[in-house]
Amino acid sequence: MFSFEGDFKTRPKVSLGGASRKEEKASLLHRTQEERRKREEERRRLKNAIIIQSFIRGYRDRKQQHAIQRSAFDRCASASQSGGTFSIASGPNLTLLVRQLLFFYKQNEDSKRLIWMYQNLIKHSSLFVQQLDGSERLTCLFQIKRLMSLCCRLLQNCNDDSLNVALPMRMLEVFSSENTYLPVLQDASYVVSIIEQILHYMIQNGYYRSLYLLINSKLPSSIEYSDLSRVPIANILLENVLKPLHFTYNSCPEGARQQVFSAFTEEFLAAPFTDQIFHFIIPALADAHTVFPYEPFLSALLLLESRRSGTSSRTSSRAPWLFFFVLTVGEQYLGTLSEEGLLVYLRVLQTFLSQLPVSPASTSCQDSASDSEDEGEEADKQPSAPEDGRLSVPYITEECLKKLDTKQQTNTLLNLVWRDSASEEALTLMASIGHTLMVQHRMVVPKVRLLYSLAFNARFLRHLWFLISSMTTRMITGSVVPLLQVISRGSPMSLEDSSRIIPLFYLFSSLFSHSLISIHDNEFFGDPIEVVGQRQSSMMPFTLEELIMLSRCLRDACLGIIKLAYPETKPEVREEYITAFQSIGVTTNSEMQQCIQMEQKRWIQLFKVITNLVKMLKSRDTRRNFCPPNHWLSEQEDIKADKVTQLYVPASRHVWRFRRMGRIGPLQSSLDVGLESPPLSVSEERQLAILTELPFVVPFEERVKIFQRLIYADKQEVQGDGPFLDGINVTIRRNYIYEDAYDKLSPENEMSFGEHRISIPANLEGDFCDWPLSLQKPMTHSCSPYCRYSYRGTGVVKEPDLKKRIRVHLLNAHGLDEAGIDGGGIFREFLNELLKSGFNPNQGFFKTTNEGLLYPSPAAQMLVGDSFARHYYFLGRMLGKALYENMLVELPFAGFFLSKLLGTSADVDIHHLASLDPEVYKNLLFLKSYEGDVEELGLNFTVVNNDLGEAQVVELKFGGKDIPVTSANRIAYIHLVADYRLNRQIRQHCLAFRQGLANVVNLEWLRMFDQQEIQVLISGAQVPISLEDLKSFTNYSGGYSADHPVIKVFWRVVEGFTDEEKRKLLKFVTSCSRPPLLGFKELYPAFCIHNGGSDLERLPTASTCMNLLKLPEFYDETLLRSKLLYAIECAAGFELS
């Protein structure tokens, strides 16, 4: 590299160019830097050259030594085979050969030498093992480990047809067996420690990978566990799979056993199953004879998954396979688990169930659970096993859900949480499992054995609620506050706290809601069940006193969640949220945003189930009070009519409609106030959400004001201010009020009222197709929240817009015009008489219950044919017109019928049957509690109708006449009978009526009220008439005043009237016998008494259009009384004036 020319010292360089110019500073620095770089580069090149030379020399020397040792090994092997001086039957010689082989071994060159060595080691195993008892024991143990690891590597090439796997497998069998070591070493514990170290080393070097490849290549794909005795290699492979799992590995480094189970899990269970694994290995391990260490495996699996949780996504590709194995093997070993093992099992279920992909079958599970007349005719569609032999994730997922729903699994889990000593952790884990099943996998309670059993266990529900009530958190101030209180306040909650309480709260609300469906009122209220000779244990988990407190907590929780959904200030992602998200592997902002949205969705889902439970309890309280007065009102909310009704949007742009819960983000349950409406404030969003979901927390009077103001705002837009603007003029014969009104105000009419199509609510589209063909019309769409329908035929349907003013001209019984100009009063009289006629049971469209309450007659179709639905549509519009005009009509409707009008679903449950037919309801309760042989009653799945004297047998389900009612199916029979009587029999009637009602009044406005409140809204409250209130808001004209002698006599006479006579007087003047809902201050025009002149022969007359009483100057009290009573009882229409 450097030349030598004889110089032994350096000589100074002499420059003959003379003195150089002064060098610039920058040039000097650059030159110095470049020289330094060159020197460094030279040092680096020298160092690299030394490394390369060292490597080459080492490689050359190693290769040379490998060749020397390989030659020495071959000489010794030849000598031993030819009977020379070297004997293989010697422990030291075996050790020498193994040392040489391990030194030079290369798989592609020395495989045959390794096979030869295996043969001799197996033959002289006792001689070789003796070295473990001497000074060379560590060397010998290391050699055995290395030989076994090479054996594993060799078996990984099992697809090579030239390789005979029998010898390596025999090597594994011999040197991992206690029988090899124990006769020589005589120390059982020492032998176990040796085998543990060998197995642990093999596990670290691909032992289970080798077995996995060997099983899938050497066993036929058609093999099953039952073929074990006919396939010898299968038994050997199974033993090798199980062997490492049975040791404790106490002699190995800490965590060795966890590594063994982890390797087994990763190689055999965490990937899609092959046929050999699915049909042979898993059934073999699930057999009790194999003694699989199930409980240690569960603990190791849980630890493995906890270590992966920071990097795994919410759904894991490995979860279905692992979960299937856990459930399949658990079928055999669940009964052997200890108390702690059962808790570990619960943790494993909770972990994998949340990671399980959503099954296609479970996606449609909720839909199939909905009420359907054809439910019995449709077969359950379940994913089937693939025909090509490959196992798919959907199939395994569905199998997992099936196995989780077996009777054994259910009983094991139930026993764990039903006991009085059930721990908080067990209840929490069970709640999380139930929450995941219902929310993530969309399973419904009746379809899952576990959930169904829990729903009807009163003790479990009590434990669950008390656990929820006792859960606390520590606030920033250091104080300990119940989590229920935090929710009720609407305060933000940490991710840890929400993860604790949401599953518990969700499960409790869902299960209790489901149990309430089957708990009849007698059982709910603790009344004795009148079934002779029978005692029925109550399924009611709470007393009425406890329910009062519970319902208040649920109500406040709903209000608190609404506050959380619409916070006063923009929420920030707090530091503890960031830390919590990072702990589960969330690193990016998009992932964090997704997690936040998932958390919001969990709150929305919780809100829905709690709200449903609250509404069910409120419905019970409505049917029969168990809560104190004003219990459901909230002091936290102060919703006023003037603030809410400012959000009214004209119908030409959009009427109010509800946005139902269920979207990610804020609750979004507020009313949609138009396409171009300004954004709502937080307060407005909260108010509208409350009116949507929990209207009963607002006082009834305030909701009435809200409703009336909404109607008034809509009326102002449609009718305007002038009383004689565009409207509808009709002539009606008094003796044929219903016929003429139906003829002139129904959709078939071709009068020039302007084009207005029938509005059918969008949520009735599916039911509309069930109407008679004569009513099925082509559909046209609009931007309205309701779909528009028109009728077939030539031309466009002309339908009167009943929101407009209607002016009525009446003809008396003789065909003569009745006196008077309709300023509103004649119309009110006409509408009142029309509704009385239309809803009269003699008309045939409505029937009465035993209590005299109205509901649609199932026989209406037999009376008027296929046009019956048009009559119900017409009557619905007329009732809607009465509500629209703030007119009270005395029509007592059955509670179940009003519930069907108000509900988002057209169906009602069995609890309403008592209001329709108490006798049938009582008989069904008897059947439910009957302890004898149900088949002896001779019932089948049919009902008999006796309408108009004609008996008709109707099947409740397909082939129902051939299906006897038994103890097993009587609950289904009871619900089908109730469903038929309450829903199916009058479904088309109610849908048409509701459609007509919605044509005039927005149903969403009416849903602010329950069925009792709607009855009050229609007919007024059953309260005595307050004369003091009437006096306070009465006007006087024509010379009368409050101090006039005639007026004083009048009020003395009225004070002496009975309540019935007072109602007749009120009807005579205002056309309605009941006072306004909010008092006489709401009567418009105000009640007025006008001077009717001095002719004492005249009768008092009235102008109902002005709420005006024309009272002659009767100074005599007796005369005034007789004339007034004659006038109000005459009921001769408007001709008296």
Cα gap 1122→342, rounded to integer Å = 87
Question: In sequence order, what are the beta bridge partners of 760?
Answer: 787
Cα gap 499→408, rounded to integer Å = 29
Place of tokens 């032999």: 389
Cα gap 504→171, rounded to integer Å = 55
Place of tokens 């033993």: 239
Cα gap 1049→648, rounded to integer Å = 46
Q: Reduced to 3 DSSP states, what percent helix, strand and coil does the chain have, rounded to the nearest 5?
A: 60, 5, 35
Residue 847 CA: distances (Å) to CA of 301, 732, 853, 864, 900: 66, 26, 8, 15, 16
Cα gap 912→791, rounded to integer Å = 35
Residue 164 phi/psi, 5-degree rounding, is -90, 110
Question: In sequence order, what are the beta bridge partners of 811?
Answer: 733, 817
Token couple for 609: 């189930």
Collapsed DSSP state (helix, strand, coil) of residue 699: coil
Residue 956 CB partners (closer than 8 Å, separation 6+): 941, 942, 943, 973, 976, 977, 980
Judging by beta carbons within 10 Å of its beta carbon (0-12, 13-18, 19+), is residue 98 exposed, middle or buried?
Answer: buried
DSSP structure string for 555-614? HHHHHHHHHHHS-SS-----HHHHHHHHHTT--SHHHHHHHHHHHHHHHHHHHHHHHHHH
Cα gap 345→301, rounded to integer Å = 10
Q: What is the DSSP letter of 380?
A: P
Please identify every residue annotated as catalytic.
1105
Helix (H), strand (E) at residue 659: none
Token couple for 123: 């033959």
Residue 119 CB partners (closer than 8 Å, separation 6+): 167
Collapsed DSSP state (helix, strand, coil) of residue 472: strand
Q: How many CA atoms lie within 13 A of 179 on its CB side?
A: 4
Identify whether the C-beta of residue 955 lies closer than 8 Å to the C-beta of residue 942: yes
Cα gap 672→440, rounded to integer Å = 29
Beta strand spans in 973-1055 (E)? 1034-1037
Cα gap 911→981, rounded to integer Å = 12
Q: Is 588 left (phi over 0), alpha (psi -120 to 50) or beta?
A: beta
Token couple for 804: 């407009």
DSSP structure string for 880-924? HHHHHTT------B-HHHHHHHHSSSS---GGGHHHH-HHHHHHH
Identify whether the C-beta of residue 610 lies closer than 8 Å to the C-beta of residue 504: no
Q: What is the DSSP letter of 1102?
A: E
Collapsed DSSP state (helix, strand, coil) of residue 648: coil
Token couple for 695: 């209207």
- Which amino acid, residue 800? P
Cα gap 316→356, rounded to integer Å = 7
Collapsed DSSP state (helix, strand, coil) of residue 615: helix
